[in-house]
Amino acid sequence: MLTHIPFPILPAPPSWFPGHMLQFQRNLPQLLTRTDVVLELRDARLPLTSINRKFEGVLQTWRRERGAIPTPPPTGEAGPSALPATPRPTGSGLLCERIVVFNKRDLVPEWGIEPFKRAMAAKYPDQRVFFASWNKTRDIKALNELLVGIAKHTPHAPEMNVLVVGMPNVGKSTLLNALRNIGIAGPTPKALRTGAHPGITRSLSTRLKLSIDPLVYAWDSPGVMLPFLGKGESGAERGVKLALIAGIKEGLYDIDALASYLLYRLNVLDPISPAYLKILPPGTQPLTDVYEFLDILAKRLGMLRRGGIRDTARAAVWFVQWWRNEGGFVAAATEHAAVRGWGFDFQWDLANPSDSDKSAGAVAPSDATAVGSDKSQERPDEAVIQARMEACIERFERGVDGEEDDGSNVSKTQEKKQARTELLAKRKAKAERRWAKKVGGV
C-alpha cells in the first residue's frame, strides 16, 4: 500500500477560447428569452470542474426575470424525490426550469450517485439533478419522460423549447441525438454531428423536435470553455482534469503531464489496488514515479522504438486513452475508493480527519498526499459520504469565490484588455465633457 503520494508538477493551463465560444456567450442572454428549460450537461467524472461559471450569472438573471424563486425541499427530504414533480410556479407565469444532467454515469462509482444527488439538492435546491449515459436506453427514456412531463404540466404553452449548454465534449450532441431517437416514433436519422474531439459544434443548431405530443423542441449549442482556467496550482489542475476527459483541444497539453496526473489520481482513489494495476504485469506493486510506470507499461505493450528503446510517449497516449474508455469502468468499480473519495473532484480520508474534506478541484493541493492507515476498508454509509460531499462542494464554492475576489480567474491578457477598455471609456467621457463645456460657452 502506498503511504506517500507526491503531487505531480503540472504545466500552466493553456488558453483555448475561440471566437465561436465568445459569440455564443454574448448571444446567450437573448437566446434565453426564447427558452423554457435549460439542460446543462456536465461530466459525471468531474461534476465540479465541468461547471462553467460564466453561465451562472446569465442563468440567474434569466430566472429572476421570469420570477423563478428557489424553494428548498421540505424538512427531512433532501433527495431528488423531494424536488417538485411539476414546474415551480413563477411570478411571470413563464416556464423556467434548469436541469443539470451529469453524463457518462457509468464511468463513476454507483455508490456515490445518490449521496451526491442529496448533497446537490441541499446546496442547490433550485436545480434538478439527473444522471445519465447516452448509451443506456433506460436513462434516455427517463430523461425524455422528465421533459415531456414538464411540457404536459404547462398545457397553456403551444410548445416547449429546451436549450442544451455545457463545456466542450461533455456529450451534448450525442445526448440530443439519443433523446430524438427515443422521443420520435419510427426511424430518425442522426441530426447532429458528433465526435471524440471537442469543438465539433461551432454554432447554434436548428431546432430539433424531441416530442410530438406535447411539442418539445431543443437547440444544441457550442461547448464553451472558461476564457481562463485560473492561476497557480488550482488553475493548472483544473486544466489537466479537463484535458483528461478530452474537453480541451488535443495537442495543447504534453501527454506526460496528463499521464502523471492520471497516475496520481488513481493512486489517491485506491492506494492499495489502483485501477492501472490491471494493465501492468501480474505482481506489480503500486507506483508513484510516472516514468517508471510508463517504462513498465511500454514493455508490457511491446511498444519499442528503433534500437529496442521503450516508447514511453506512446505508452502515455495509450494510458490516457485506456482511462477514457475501458479504464473508467475499472476505476469506477474499485473496491476501496469510498474511504478516499469519489471521482477526481472529491477527495477525503476517513482514516485521517485532519486531511478530510479536500476538493482537489477547489484548492491548491499540498506537495504530497499522505495516506492514512485505514483499519477498515468497508464502505461508509451514505450519510457519511453525503456529509463529505457537501463539505467538498462548500470548499469548491469558497475556492471559486476566492478566485473571483483576488482576480485569479482573470488572465494577464484579459487584465490588459479590461484596462484598455477602461482607459478608452475615460477618454471618451473626458472628450464629452470638453465638448459640453465648449458648446455651453458659445
Q: What is d(CA 49, CA 44) in angstroms, rounded to the nearest whole number?
A: 10
Q: Are residues 200 and 237 in the same domain?
A: no
Which domain-ending residue is among 219, 241, 272?
Answer: 219
Amino acid at 88: R
Q: Are residues 243 and 344 in the same domain?
A: yes
**Residue the block writes with cell 441541499:** 122
Predicted confidence at residue 350, as pLDDT, reads 65
Which domain-ending residue is among 219, 251, 277?
Answer: 219
Give me the number of domains the chain comprises: 2
Q: Are residues 164 and 313 in the same domain?
A: no
Which domain-ending residue is among 200, 219, 238?
Answer: 219
- Angle (CA) 229-230-231 rounded to 5° is 140
The answer as to whether 431 is a domain residue is: no
Helix (H), strand (E), coil (C) string for the chain? CCCEEECCCCCCCCCCCCHHHHHHHHHHHHHHCCCCEEEEEEECCCCCCCCCHHHHHHHHHHHHHCCCCCCCCCCCCCCHHHCCCCCCCCCCCCCCEEEEEEECHHHCCHHHHHHHHHHHHHHCCCCEEEEECCCCHHHHHHHHHHHHHHHHCCCCCCCEEEEEEECCCCCHHHHHHHHHHHHCCCCCCCCCCCCCCCCCCCCCCCCEEEECCCCEEEECCCCCCCCCCCCHHHHHHHHHHHHHCCCCCCCCCCHHHHHHHHHHHHHHHCCCCCHHHHHCCCCCCCCCCHHHHHHHHHHHHCCECCCCCECHHHHHHHHHHHHHHHHHHHHHCCCCHHHCEECCCEECCCCCHHHCCECCCCCCCCCEEECCCCCCCCCCCHHHHHHHHHHHHHHHHHHHHHHHHHCCCCCHHHHHHHHHHHHHHHHHHHHHHHHHHHHHHC
Q: Are residues 313 and 189 in the same domain?
A: no
CATH number of residue 40's parent domain:
3.40.50.300
The answer as to whether 299 is a domain residue is: yes
CATH number of residue 279's parent domain:
1.10.1580.10
The answer as to whether 353 is a domain residue is: yes
Predicted confidence at residue 15, as pLDDT, reads 83
Domain that holds residue 293: 4-11+230-406
**CB 77 within 8 Å of CB 269:** no
Q: Are residues 137 and 263 in the same domain?
A: no
The answer as to whether 424 is a domain residue is: no
Q: Are residues 359 and 397 in the same domain?
A: yes
Predicted confidence at residue 200, as pLDDT, reads 60
Q: Are residues 209 and 239 in the same domain?
A: no
Q: Are residues 111 and 259 in the same domain?
A: no
Q: What is d(CA 129, CA 112) in angstroms, rounded to the nearest whole number?
A: 14
Q: Are residues 212 and 235 in the same domain?
A: no
β partners of residue 361: none
Q: Are residues 77 and 175 in the same domain?
A: yes
φ, ψ (nearest 5 deg) of residue 118: -70, -35
The answer as to whether 35 is a domain residue is: yes
* pLDDT tens track, the chain, 442 positions: 687 889 999 998 888 888 888 888 899 999 999 999 999 999 999 999 999 888 888 998 999 888 875 444 444 444 444 444 444 444 455 789 999 999 999 888 889 999 999 999 999 988 899 999 988 999 999 999 999 999 998 877 889 999 999 999 888 888 998 998 888 876 565 555 554 555 566 557 678 899 998 999 999 888 888 888 888 888 999 999 999 998 888 788 999 999 999 999 999 988 889 999 999 999 999 999 999 999 999 999 999 998 889 999 999 999 999 999 888 888 888 766 567 888 899 988 766 654 444 444 433 344 466 665 544 456 678 898 999 999 999 999 998 888 887 776 665 666 566 667 777 788 888 888 888 887 776 5
The answer as to whether 175 is a domain residue is: yes
Q: Are residues 353 and 274 in the same domain?
A: yes
The answer as to whether 49 is a domain residue is: yes
Q: Are residues 184 and 245 in the same domain?
A: no
The answer as to whether 78 is a domain residue is: yes
**CB 221 within 8 Å of CB 172:** yes
